[in-house]
Chain A
Amino acid sequence: MQPDDIARQLAPKLGDGLLSVEPFPGTAGRVRFRSERALELFRAVRDDLHFGHLSMVGAIDWVDHREVFYVAWSDAATQYLFLSTDVPASAAHVESASSVWPSANWHEREAWEMVDVTFDNHPDLRHLLMPDGYAFHPLLRSFKLHEPEELEVKSRHV
């Protein structure tokens, strides 16, 4: 599967929600899409392109905006597909993929607590690796490694 094939199959469903499909190392390509059309894209990728397995979700802080990326796998094509969308840092949110791929659940929890991207309609958006009530987002560029943080850890279950 080549980037052009993917663009041809996705374009009728997504319209202007699809920004570009470009070559990407180790995968069939990188699909860049508008975050408002996320759910439609996920469904099209799963049902029309047959990428039934979502491997990971992550986010990158580019300071002026944040990038949310998804890696999907197709058993039929034995290929990965990289999906990515940009969200503004001031309103970093995107629709949760967990209604399409249940495996997104934990990955989105991690991306939320680490990079401060909110996943709308997520079934269970709470801390995963950090303690409850942790007020920082460690993978933001503004979180400096060499400065101490002050933290009061509360017990999770009373």
Chain B
Amino acid sequence: MSEMWINMGPQHPMTHGLWNLRVKIDGEMILDVDPEMGYLHRGIEKISEDRHYNEVITLMDRCCYVAGFAWEHLYIQSAEQALGLRPPERAEYLRVLCDEFQRIASHLMWYAAFVQDIGLMSPFLYGMRDRDLVLDLFQSYTGARMTYEYMRVGGVRNDVPPGFTDQARKVLDWLSDRFVEYDQLCLGSTIFRERCDDLGTLKANDCVAHGVTGPMLRAAGLKRDLRKDRPYAAYDRLEFDVAVADSADVTARYLVRMEEMRQSVRILRQVVDWLDRHPGPVLAERLPRWLGAPYAPIGNEGYLLKRHYAKGVGFSAVEEPHGEAQAYVVNDGGEHPYRVKFRSPVFANISAARQYLVGYHVADIPPIMGSVDVCVGEVDR
């Protein structure tokens, strides 16, 4: 057979977003791949240079549309470092609450899309149904289901409403039972196992060399999780285990994400208990009005006050649902960040595509790329 390049994308069921995977094939065999990104590039790093510190939060939600909270948290941590601020403790717990519910919502979204790639239609509906319960919770305290704009430099915008923790406990109970059913549906299915075992293998040393992080790295047996290794927010006060698997294939990534959801439920139970017992402020006091006022309209005089902080830089990293995200914020003393740089975990995970795709068949691409959990919004930014 003669070799040829084919395009899978930008519109293709495998992509789960807008990008193009160029594949060099010989018959059914994959000889080479060349991912082409940029279709969703909105210049978020450039726009940030023209926004107040709090206005960048709006962009963060749009950075990754399935894990908005994780990106808000990432940016907020760096900005607080650059400005020399600390949030109150209750805000740190609320941020963990957001992060972990977001992890569950993101993994459920991944589950729904991934099983559909393999050809199972009903689990797609189950995943989306259960994700909606989490989105309902988000809506109850942020008012939004996808783009929350909830975290603030110096804390969070508002506290959770009365009765929220009871509702959250109900959702957690429901989800714990559903995870058992998911496993029965997938791991109990011979077709699923034959489709996913020994597929898209990426060993630990290749993961490290190519910058792969998150569930893909932990599926290769490396126990690396920033929530444990470099705890941020309230993670050092919460008990949980890092999910790992060792076969480094598509099944291993499934196992890691399922276990992560169970661990998230475990974390969230501790967080809602803590929130019940410790009322308090959620936004740091003595913030300049342009930074602190949660609803200050653009153009009001407080909003435009000159900043009161010295120059500084902030660097922080969070374990977002897809892997390790980093933000670097340079504050040169102006009202806007001088430079903002983000590291997207999916960016690195896709850049290693050649390592886990070459040698497999064309029909293996959807399950393998599905197991990577691609979110193009954060790759292109």
- Which residue from chain B places its CB closest to the CB of A100 in the assembled complex? B209
Q: Considering the chains assembled together, what is the distance between the CA atoms of A25 and B341 in angstroms?
A: 15
User: B328 within 8 Å of A by Cβ?
Assistant: yes
User: B313 within 8 Å of A by Cβ?
Assistant: yes
Q: Considering the chains assembled together, what is the distance between the CA atoms of A79 and B330 in angstroms?
A: 20
Output the least CB separation between B83 and chain A (Å). 11
Contact of A138 among B43, B222, B324 (CB under 8 A): B43
Interface residues of B in 27-49 (CB under 8 A from A): 36-38, 41, 43, 45-47, 49
Question: CB-defined interface of A44-70 with B at 8 Å, one 1/0 digit per residue?
Answer: 000000001111101011000000010
Output the least CB separation between A143 and chain B (Å). 7
CB pairs A–B below 8 angstroms (11 shown):
A24-B315, A25-B81, A26-B316, A52-B209, A56-B326, A58-B328, A71-B328, A101-B211, A130-B38, A131-B38, A145-B49
- Which residue from chain A places its CB closest to the CB of B45 in the assembled complex? A139
Interface residues of B in 1-52 (CB under 8 A from A): 5, 7, 36-38, 41, 43, 45-47, 49-50
Output the least CB separation between A51 and chain B (Å). 11
Question: CB-defined interface of A81-122 with B at 8 Å, one 1/0 digit per residue?
Answer: 010000000000000000001110111000000100000000
Contact of A75 among B45, B49, B222 (CB under 8 A): B222
For B275, the chain A residues whose CB sits under 8 A away are none
Contact (Cβ within 8 A) A129 B351: no
Chain A contact-residue range equals 35 or more
For B43, the chain A residues whose CB sits under 8 A away are 138
For B352, the chain A residues whose CB sits under 8 A away are 103
Contact (Cβ within 8 A) A101 B316: no
Contact (Cβ within 8 A) A106 B36: no
Output the least CB separation between B376 and chain A (Å). 11
Contact (Cβ within 8 A) A128 B208: no
Contact (Cβ within 8 A) B209 A103: yes
Beyond A69-B328, A114-B45, list 6 extra A-B contacts (CB 8 Å).
A25-B316, A26-B81, A27-B315, A75-B224, A127-B38, A129-B41
Q: Considering the chains assembled together, what is the distance between the CA atoms of A153 and B136 in angstroms?
A: 42
For B49, the chain A residues whose CB sits under 8 A away are 145
User: A78 within 8 Å of B by Cβ?
Assistant: yes
Q: Considering the chains assembled together, what is the distance between the CA atoms of A25 and B313 in angstroms?
A: 7
Given known contacts A24-B315, A128-B38, A78 and B230 CB-to-CB distance under 8 angstroms: yes
Chain B contact-residue range equals 35 or more
For B148, the chain A residues whose CB sits under 8 A away are none
Question: CB-defined interface of B353-381 with A at 8 Å, one 1/0 digit per residue?
Answer: 00000000000000000000000000010
User: B177 within 8 Å of A by Cβ?
Assistant: no
User: B64 within 8 Å of A by Cβ?
Assistant: no
User: A154 within 8 Å of B by Cβ?
Assistant: no
Given known contacts A24-B315, A105-B351, A143-B46, A71 and B326 CB-to-CB distance under 8 angstroms: yes
Q: Considering the chains assembled together, what is the distance between the CA atoms of A69 and B326 in angstroms?
A: 13
User: A80 within 8 Å of B by Cβ?
Assistant: yes
Contact (Cβ within 8 A) B229 A129: no
User: B339 within 8 Å of A by Cβ?
Assistant: yes
User: B314 within 8 Å of A by Cβ?
Assistant: yes
User: B266 within 8 Å of A by Cβ?
Assistant: no
User: A156 within 8 Å of B by Cβ?
Assistant: yes
Given known contacts A80-B317, A102-B210, A60 and B330 CB-to-CB distance under 8 angstroms: yes
Output the least CB separation between A24 and chain B (Å). 7
Interface residues of B in 239-270 (CB under 8 A from A): none
